[in-house]
Amino acid sequence: MQGIIVELVNVSKKYGRRQLFVTINRQICPGECIAVTGSNGSGKSTLLKVIAGLIRPSSGTVKVHHNGHEVVADKRMPCFGLISPELIFYNAMTGYENLHFLVRARGVGLSDEQLMHCLESVGLTGRQHELLSTYSTGMRQRLKFALLVALRPPIWLLDEPSSNLDEEGKKLVKRLVDDALAQQATVIIATNDPEEANYAGQKIALV
C-alpha cells in the first residue's frame, strides 16, 4: 500500500497544564519528507506517536488517506513503521530471530533469503546469528532499520534515526530515506540534528 497522505488537522497535545504543541495543520504527501524540530521536551517524539495512533491528541485529528479514501483508525497499523529509542528487541534472541519474529508478528511473510537481504542492506551480514545481548547500540539501531526495510510501510516515522550511529551508519540512514522517498513513502523525522533535518523539504518547528 503506497501513496499515503498524512493530514494533521488542528492537532494539539497537552499534559495537565503543560501545552506541548497547538493547532498543527499540515499535509504530507507520498514522496515527501518533513522534519519535526525543537528543543528537548518540546514534543517531537509525542507528535510522532500521535501520528502513529499510539497517543491520542488533546484536540484535533490525524487523517490518513489512500487513493482518495480515508483509512479508518483500526486499519492503519500496517501503514506505519516507527523507529524509536523505545523500540525494544529481545536480548535472548539473535538478530535474525528478532527480525523473523517481529516481521511474522506484523503478518508479513518473507523468506529466509529475503530476511537475510534486509540484514545485509543495513550492514549486519555476519552478525545476524549473534545474540542481541552482544550487539552494540549502533548495531541495534541498524537492526531497527532492517525491520523497517522488511516491513516496507508506506509511512516512515523516524525518531532521532541516526542516534548511536557512526558516520557510515548516518550515510546508511540517508540512503534508506532516499530509497523510501523514491518509492513514494511518506517520511516524518523527529530530530535535533541539522543534517537529518536537511533530509526534509519542509519542517514543523516546535518550541
This prediction has a pTM of 0.94
Predicted confidence (pLDDT) at residue 1 exceeds the cutoff of 70: no
Q: Which tens digit of pLDDT belongs to each residue from 132-157?
A: 999 999 999 999 999 999 999 999 99
- Model confidence at 3, pLDDT cuts 50, 70, 90, reads confident
Question: Under a CB-based contact definition with an 8 Å cutoff, are residues 139 and 127 in contact?
Answer: yes
Taking residue 141's Cβ as centre, other Cβ atoms within 10 Å add up to: 23
**Cα(115)–Cα(125) distance, integer angstroms:** 11
> How many domains would you assign to the chain?
1
Instruction: CATH number of the domain at 171, please.
Output: 3.40.50.300
| DSSP 8-state secondary structure symbol assigned to residue 92 | T
Owner of C-alpha cell 548516518: 170
Give the residue-averaged pLDDT of 18-41: 95
Nearest of 68, 69, 70, 21 to residue 48 by alpha carbon: 21
Question: Under a CB-based contact definition with an 8 Å cutoff, are residues 190 and 39 in contact?
Answer: no
Structural domain harbouring 98? 4-205
**Cα(157)–Cα(33) distance, integer angstroms:** 10
Report the sign of the C-alpha dihedral through residues 45, 206, 31, 179, in that order. negative
